[in-house]
Copies of this chain bind each other. A is one copy, B any other.
Amino acid sequence: MTISAPVTRMKSGERRELILEAATEVFAETGYVGTTTADIARAAGVSQPYVVRLFGTKEQLFLDVIQRALDVLLAAFRGALDDATSDVPLGKRMALAYVNQLNQHGLLLSLMHAFVLGRDPVIGAAARAGFMKVYRFLRDDAGFDPLEVQNFLASGMLVNTMIGIDMVEDYDGDPDVRELMECAFPEKLDMVRALASQREQEQR
């Protein structure tokens, strides 16, 4: 999925962000190890060595992708938290903020790919730190009690898994799949569907 042509020069910061977005997508699709720097370069419309040049190593690039994903997610949570004008209860606002991230392509899924690599010394440490950051936010800033935090995280991980498993379409028109989707994604199913069809378009 090419995001831009290389052609022109760009400020380093802009190009970085562009590559980070492309990398988020590709890492989400094929995982940390399964993604090559060449895949990312192609998606970003730059040369492979330039990707390495900008981020030092593939590992560092992945760490940057994860860090960015966490920043985006926590910013969304903060937004939901501060939106006190709404008459929607806090728990639902937060849940919606989470599912809204599905708009941003591989954001949650790239995190999931980090969460499954806990035994990697570097990535594992970053994954734990990131997960705990979310936990503390829910507990301290959002003021969730322990059970609320647990339920919130559990629902989130189920969403992540169903995204990871790519169960966003009615595979083979299976009614069981549809039932599970509708049960797991109450009002948010439309959003997931929109994402899926959007992805199909992008693949031409």
CA distance A2 to B146 in the complex (A): 40
Q: A115 contacts B161, CB within 8 Å?
A: yes
A positions within 8 Å CB-CB of B: 29-34, 109, 112-113, 115-120, 124, 127-128, 131-132, 135-136, 146-147, 149-151, 153-155, 157-158, 160-161, 163-167, 171, 174, 176-177, 179-180, 183-184
Contacts of A180 in B (CB 8 A): 132, 135, 149
Q: A176 contacts B31, CB within 8 Å?
A: no
How often does this chain occur in the complex, in copies?
A: 2
The A interface, classified by DSSP as helix, strand, loop or mixed, is helix
30 A-B Cβ contacts within 8 A?
A: A30-B33, A30-B120, A31-B32, A31-B33, A31-B116, A31-B117, A112-B116, A112-B161, A115-B161, A115-B164, A116-B116, A117-B164, A118-B165, A118-B166, A118-B167, A128-B166, A128-B177, A132-B174, A132-B177, A132-B180, A135-B180, A146-B183, A147-B183, A149-B180, A149-B183, A150-B158, A150-B184, A151-B154, A154-B154, A160-B161
